[in-house]
Structure 1
Amino acid sequence: MEKTLSFLSNNPLVAFTILLLVILTLPPLFERIKLPGLVGLLFAGVVLGKNGLNLLDGESETMHLLEDIGKIYLMFVAGLEIDLGEFKKTKDRSLGFGFATFIIPLIIGTAIGRFFDYGWNGAILIGSLFASHTLLGYPIVQRLGVVRNEAVMVTIGATIFTDISALVVLAVCLSIHQGEFSTASLILQLVALGIYCIVVLFGLDWAGKKYFERTGDEESNQFLFVLFAVFLAALGAQVINVEKIIGAFLAGLAVNDVLGRSPVKEKIEFMGSTLFIPMFFVAMGLLIDIPIFIKTITTQFPLMLAIVLGLIVAKFLAAFISKIIYRYNFNEGMTMWSLSLPQVAATLAAALAAYQAKNVAGERLLNEATFNSVIVLMLVTSILGPLLTARFARNLSVPKAKLEDSSEKRDIILSELLPKAEPFAPNHPFTIVVPIYNPTTQRNLIEMAALIARHESGLIVPLSVATSHVHMDSPQLNTRLYKSREMLGEAVQLSQEFEVESQPAIRIDDKISHGISRAAREKNADLIIMGWSKTFGLRARLFGTVIDSVFRSAHCPVAVMRLLDEPVNIHHLLVPVKNITPEMIRVIRFAHLLADTNQGSVTLLHVCRRYTSSSQIATFKEDLLNVVNQFGFPVTSEIKTITHDNISQVIIKESKTYDLTVLRSVRRQTAGGGLAVSDLTTEILKRLTGSLVLFGEPENNS
């Protein structure tokens, strides 16, 4: 038995397999009981470590390697997810709040350290752990549609200041602890750090843009370039005697502008949130010594309580002062507090670095009692922060979208609604590109496109993409072209039945998605209508689908349709509406256009939480009615409000009584800690059984 356990704990392949099993199973289980998935990973580390089953050895080279990779990836993703564009819009207030939510926790944390007899270096380190924050609540404010609220934008922007400042303080504390501190060495260290920051931030940004320009659509090479840049930055930080997580965070900021919202960024985040970052949290669990952890709770309870309450009070004071200075209302101030409360990414990475740092006498910078207290702090704030965000952010207001003047509303068509390039020719007809690649869905797609084109006095472009071959005379390519001509011939006949002009097109391209988006651009299309395909599962998340790629690369709106009945039989449309945003307004208008082509009706469904006040519901309905009145389509519209806490369940139930459900395409996001957060649209798509349209826009417009 002992030999078996020894084999299991020392075999790297066994350790890796166990980690994969843990990551696959435990986070979903803990999320079902309303706990963050990372709590499950920490729990797994404790159970599988030396105080449990002893299946994983936290001191093995394998775990050290995976821990380092996960720590670097965690800080890289934390930097990558900071929206520099939003920071620039509110940079003055972001820096103001960032300074407040850095310096106040730093002072309070230092005071707590001194009170419990820590030296100045250790006390300041504790303060620096208080100073940063992780945007675990970002997916919540995004789902609620209040990201554009100034208080939210200011808090997001403040993350840059707090994280960088906290990491700089960490670097100085580590240098002092390891006996390498003097006035001259401090100045030299700060100068080296400043030069290093400039080289990473501007050098990687420049190199990344040049490399991406040269490689075009070679996503695999771009993915490897980004990984190389991250670990090169981390290695460079170690060269100048700075903790490697600082380099990883700076690398995230540097390549942020290069990646934008490209598929490469999504794959990088997916790889981290699915594999490396969870392994880091499991490794953190392996470091928790249960007897000492229990001893900390019992004998060092005042220290642990002081750290947790001190952080909560410090972040509250920073938000309260900023609320007064910038004249924010109560809900805005409380949202700023709740968003800045969670201590996960930078805090845990810095705590681990301080815990592992030893001086010449073998003393740790951060002892086990404080390290365990930081773990408790992370658990408390990662649960409390998102709960408070969900409570207060729902009451925030956002700048209202500008609607068109009513004198023009009868002349509005879809091509005028959405941002697009200038037409290549005057009197540009409304053009719909319909990719043809599935004979079973072809008829309904062409029929729907024909109805819209006839309504807008436009034309349709049935498109068939034949994937390219090295040799243009290859038999495989000839076969594909022959099948393409057959399908396009059928598509032309269908369009003639509806008396709509059609311009069939065949394109040879290396990828189907590229062929669709490029052909649509060449035709100056106003809309792309595509058939539905599965967008879930591991393969789709890793490599993407044709739909994903077209959503990213198309210059015009894309409507992905799953039609279980002929379009002429679709009369009653359901549009779930969470918030009134410019993107949602365009979805609603598109639904009215669809209904008008078939003399149908549209029901706008708003599902609100049980504790939403009647005045808030009435105001929302009034605003939504004003939006609908701007369209000018002679369509019967109904606004239906249902109070319920399970939004997806209500939408799925209501959809069964309608002919078609129209949803807005919403991209998956990850929390600042890197763990994936599912969105409402994805959940609905998995369970909705009727006809649907998923409406999305070019990424630079949405």
Structure 2
Amino acid sequence: MELILQVLALEPTSQIFAKEPIVPFAILLVVILVVPIVFERLQLPGLVGLLVSGVVLGPYGWNLLNTESAMMPVLSNIGLVYLMFVAGLEIDIQQFRRTKNQSLGFGSLSFLVPLVVGTFIGRFFDFEWNSSILIGSLFASHTLLAYPILSRLGVVNNEAISVSIGASIVTDLAALLVLAICVAIKDGSFSFGRLITLITLLTLYSIVVLVGFDWAGKQFFRRSGDEEGNQFLFVLLCVFLATVGAQLIGVEKIVGAFLAGLAVNETVGEGPVKEKVVFVGSVLFIPIFFVNVGLLVNVPAFLQSIDTLELTFFIIIGLVASKFIAAYLVKLIYRYNWQETLTMWSLSVPQVGATLGATIMGYQAKLLDDRILSSVIVLMLITSTLGLFITSRVAVGLTNSGMKDIGTVNLTYQNQEENDSSYSIVVPVHNPQTQQHLIEMAALLARQSHGRIIPLAIATAFAHMDAPQLDASVQRSHRLLAKATALSKVLGVEAEPLLRIDDAFAQGISRASREQKASLIIMGWGKRTGFKARLFGNVIDNVLWASHCPVAVTRLVESPKKFQRILVPLENLMTPSLQPVKFAQILADANQAQVTVLNVCERRTSSSKIAWRRSQLSLLISRLALQNPPEIQIIPHENTAQAILQAARLYDLVVLPFIRNRTVPGGLAISDVTTQLAKQLTCSIVMLGEPQRTQDIIVQTEVTSSTTAAMSEGIV
């Protein structure tokens, strides 16, 4: 004991931590779990908290974490690769194809103008040509941090925004190409032949990755069926094979990771496998990368160096100005209005993914020094905040030229369902505590629609059909179905109980619903518990992804027969989902209740624009041809979630559309309004998820020119 005390007395705590890799990893997990939550409570991005944590815990702070340890470089490199992979995975290839000419134009200008400005700044501060060109390429790329804002405003289909999204492919690829060339010739032995060889190898490598991985992915996904675990591993294999291939031809690994994201983009699609892939990176590896970047920042030296402060100032001003010049030139060429031009500019300002990744690569290759690293981190923080702020202000009044008319699509889909022989509602029964309220809600809807209820019980299959466990599961299912049938009879609705033996609950529910031609699935609330549930999804997640019809996920605090006031918030009017309105009105007609459709607009919205929004909302709802049209409320408020929470205090039920928003790389930027409401609402909730087929039709259906013109007149 005395010897141990002597050792502890002689050896600093930081050195003990450095020798034991488990301790730094435990610290990292605490930081990743706690810090983003704290910073988001302070209305700051979570990634800012991770960077600050790296600075505080790093060698220039408390020295609890060290970049020299064996663990940090490995985890950080995986995080960097994952960050670039997710950046490629999140790009909408279909949207790029629709506006490829304009996207190529804006992407080229948004790359070339910042490249020239950045190179000039590098030369002005005495960097050599190779490093100066690399600094210029750092200006060129941009990260679409504001996409969730655009999605909430319902303007993602505006041509200017589609062009900005497509341009990110051009700028990111061009910036990574410049990085590859600069790093390849950093030793000074530059020659034209070497450049041609590198470009040839890079071209062949890109073709192999983009074409070969895309083909292999589609073949594997087609043959693997619903085996999400194997599909998840295949995607990871593609990422790391691409990074190894990039290094074999002398190119930085982040180039391969980005190309791998583009290659498997369409194969993965917007399904559950993509959610799992992004989840693993955003929850572990990407946060570790941001913490590691913070470890490299020497804040005291940065603040004491006037030269570094001047360089940072010029870099920030140069980037913001060059991006504005590029957007202005695009305005002149393609004749966009000022509001669209400013939105394009604000979207191209944030620098996170490719910029930070290329900076770290240049720093590790000794092309960039501590001054550039510190300046780029400050640039990232300032441009991210500035870009989000400007986008939230200038994108409010955009119209969806070439907009998709979701209202018409929903009605078409609904009419197809209503033409079926009967309106069928599948109610999976598993939890006796929630079963009664689910059957009551289904009975109200079925009685009003002259339909039927299908109570569904899933018995887990075993290898042997005479297994005692299967017998017990079947007996329990029969008891649940008998109870559901008796309750339906009391409520005066026809019930057709169904028992299904299947390997998994989610697949059993989805398949049985399709076989029965279900019009709606009603499920009880499911909680995510444990790492496995979050990684591979719970039953509700998988049903939402796979179902062919709408899915109502309910949390009922009282009997549905008592609902008298129902609230349906619509976040935007450009792409509203009308299914929740129809669902709420059918339920209200059964109870002689009142439905209120609520839309929240910006607090500074004028009275004339509020009147226009009310008329447009009335026009959209009129397409449903409801016998008792709902009441319409327009509330000006600076916070959509808070406005809905305040209004919901007077209602018995809130019906929310369940929309899976596009994920920002890293998953650390902006939370979803529906998620906030689900956590804080105290009344009964129904989250209505639409089938993937409906969402795909929405993406492919154009709005009529008269509707677009009417909306343009109303907004402008």
Q: Which residue of 1 aligns with 2:3?
A: none
Tell me the equivalent position of 1:123. 132
Q: 1:219 and 2:228 equivalent?
A: yes
Asked if the contact 2:52/2:294 (under 8 Å) is kept, the reply is yes
The one of 445, 449, 452 equivalent to 2:445 is 452
Which residue in the other structure is 1:683 paired with? 676
SS at match of 2:142: coil
Residue 531 of structure 1: which of 516, 524, 532 is its match? 524
Question: Any conservation in 2 of the 1:44–1:285 contact (CA below 8 Å)?
Answer: yes
Gaps of 5+ in 2: 1-8, 696-716
Please tell me whether residue 343 in structure 1 is matched to residue 345 in structure 2.
no
> Which amino acid counterpart does residue 487 of structure 1 have in structure 2?
L
Equivalent runs, 1:176-215 vs 2, <5 Å: 176-215=185-224
1:319 aligned partner: 327
The alignment status of 1:4 with 2:13, answered yes or no, reads yes
Distance (whole Å) between structure 1 residues aligned to residue 665 and residue 322 of structure 2: 21
Deviation at 1:285, TM superposition (A): 1.1
Structure 1 residue 88: deviation in Å?
Answer: 1.5
Deviation for aligned residue 1:676: 5.4
Deviation at 1:616, TM superposition (A): 2.0
* Aligned partner (choices 242, 246, 259) of residue 237 of structure 1: 246
Q: How does 1:196-595 map to 2 (within 5 A)?
A: 196-296=205-305, 298-357=306-365, 364-398=366-400, 402=405, 417-418=413-414, 428-535=421-528, 540-595=533-588
Q: SS at 1:56's partner residue?
A: coil
- Whole-angstrom distance in 2 between the partners of 1:196 and 1:587: 48
Per-residue deviation, 1:161: 0.7
Deviation at 1:21, TM superposition (A): 1.1
- Distance in 2, Cα, partners of 1:538 & 1:384: 35
Kept in 1, the 8 Å contact 2:88–2:258? The answer is: yes
CA contact (8 A) 2:142 2:354 kept: yes
Match of 1:608 in 2: 601
Separation in structure 1 between the aligned mates of residue 547 and residue 302 of structure 2, nearest angstrom: 54
1:95-174 to structure 2, matched below 5 A, reads: 95-174=104-183
Q: Deviations over 1:355-377 (max 9, x none)?
A: 111xxxxxx21122222221221
Distance 1:21 1:168, change over 3 A: same
Deviation digits for residues 625-676 of structure 1 (CA, Å, limit 9, x no counterpart): 1122222222252112222223222322322211211101122543235425
Matched with 2:700 is: none
How far the C-alpha of 1:119 sits from its partner, in A, is 2.2
Task: Give the conservation status (yes or no) of the 8 Å contact 2:67–2:292.
Answer: yes
CA distance in 1, matches of 2:66, 2:466: 59
The aligned residue for residue 713 of structure 2 is none
**1:532 CA drift (Å):** 1.7
SS state at 1:561 partner: strand
Deviation at 1:389, TM superposition (A): 1.2
What is the CA-CA distance between 1:538 and the residue it aligns to?
5.4
Amino acid at match of 1:384: L
Shift of 1:385: 1.0
Alignment partner of 1:647 is 2:637: no
In 1, distance between residues paired with 2:630 and 2:92?
A: 37
Contact 2:90-2:662 within 8 A present in 1 as well: no
Give the aligned residue type for 2:587: L
When structure 1 is superposed on structure 2, of 632-641 and 136-145 the one drifting more is 632-641
Q: Aligned pair in 2 of structure 1 residues 304, 694: CA closer, same or farther (>3 Å)? A: same
Pair 1:80 & 2:73 matched: no
Matched residue SS, 2:185? helix
Relative to 1, partners in 2 of residues 1:416 and 1:369: Cα closer, same or farther, differing over 3 Å? closer
> Does the C-alpha gap of structure 1 residues 416 and 139 become closer, same or farther in structure 2, counting only changes over 3 Å?
closer
Kindly tell me: are residues 436 and 321 of structure 1, through their superposed partners in 2, closer, same or farther at Cα, counting changes over 3 Å?
same
| Structure 1 residues without counterparts, runs of 5 or longer | 358-363, 406-411
The amino acid that maps onto 1:33 is L
Give the alignment's Cα RMSD to 1 decimal. Answer: 2.1
Tell me, yes or no, if the aligned pair for 2:160 and 2:344 is still in contact at 8 Å. yes
Q: Which residue of 2 aligns with 1:408?
A: none
Q: 1:490 to 1:415 in 2, by over 3 A?
A: farther
Question: What is the distance in 2 between the residues matched to 1:271 and 1:444?
Answer: 36
Q: 1:401 to 1:374 in 2, by over 3 A?
A: closer
Note if 1:663 corresponds to 2:678: no
Q: Distance in 2 between matches of 1:257 and 1:180?
A: 40
- How has the CA–CA distance of structure 1 residues 612 and 632 changed in structure 2, closer, same or farther, with 3 Å as cutoff? same
Q: 2:40 matched to 1:31?
A: yes
Contact 2:506–2:542 at 8 Å: present in 1 too? Answer: yes
1:600 Cα deviation from its structure 2 partner: 2.1
AA in 2 matched with 1:227:
L
- Indicate how the Cα distance of structure 1 residues 625 and 37 shifts in structure 2: closer, same or farther if over 3 A, else same: same
Partner SS for 1:365: coil
The alpha carbon displacement at 1:540 in A equals 4.2
CA 1:169–1:419 in 2, change beyond 3 Å: closer, same or farther? farther
The alpha carbon displacement at 1:620 in A equals 0.8
Which shows bigger deviation, 177-186 or 51-60?
177-186
User: What amino acid maps onto 2:307 in structure 1?
Assistant: T
- Distance of 2:301 and 2:559 partners within structure 1: 67
The question of whether the paired residues in 1 share the 8 Å contact of 2:287 and 2:666 is answered with no
SS in 1 for 2:443: helix
Structure 1 residues 404 and 340: alpha-carbon distance in aligned structure 2, compared to 1, 3 A threshold: closer
The 1:197–1:154 alpha-carbon spacing in structure 2 relative to 1, beyond 3 Å, is same
1:49 deviation in Å?
1.5
In structure 2, what is the Cα distance between the partners aligned to 1:491 and 1:218?
33
Summarize deviations over 1:536-566 as a string: whole Å, max 9, x none: 7756432322111110000111111222333
**2: CA distance, partners of 1:558 / 1:313:** 48
Give 1:50's aligned residue: 59
CA contact (8 A) 2:110 2:326 kept: yes
Task: Indicate if the aligned counterparts of 1:403 and 1:630 stay in contact, CA closer than 8 A.
Answer: no
Cα pair distance change 1:295/1:177, threshold 3 Å: farther
Tell me which amino acid in the other structure corresponds to 1:554: S
Change (3 A) 1:260 1:377: same
Give a deviation string over 1:574-594, Cα, whole Å, max 9, x none: 011121245522222222222
The separation in 1 between residues aligned to 2:177 and 2:242, in whole angstroms, is 15
Question: Residues 648 and 683 of structure 1 are in contact (CA less than 8 Å); yes or no, is this contact kept in structure 2?
Answer: yes
Task: Give, as a single letter, the amino acid of the residue that structure 2 aligns with 1:49.
Answer: G
Q: Tell me whether 225-234 or 245-254 shows the greater mean CA deviation.
A: 225-234
Secondary structure of 1:677's aligned partner: coil
- Partner amino acid for 2:196? I
Conserved 8 A contact 2:145-2:669: no
State the AA in 2 paired with 1:319: A
Q: Is the 8 A contact 1:415 1:526 kept in 2?
A: no
Identity %: 52
- Partners of 2:407 and 2:576 within 8 A in 1: no
Number of residue pairs matched by the alignment: 685
State the 1:419 CA deviation.
Answer: 8.6
More displaced, 477-486 or 238-247?
477-486
Q: CA deviation at 1:18?
A: 1.1
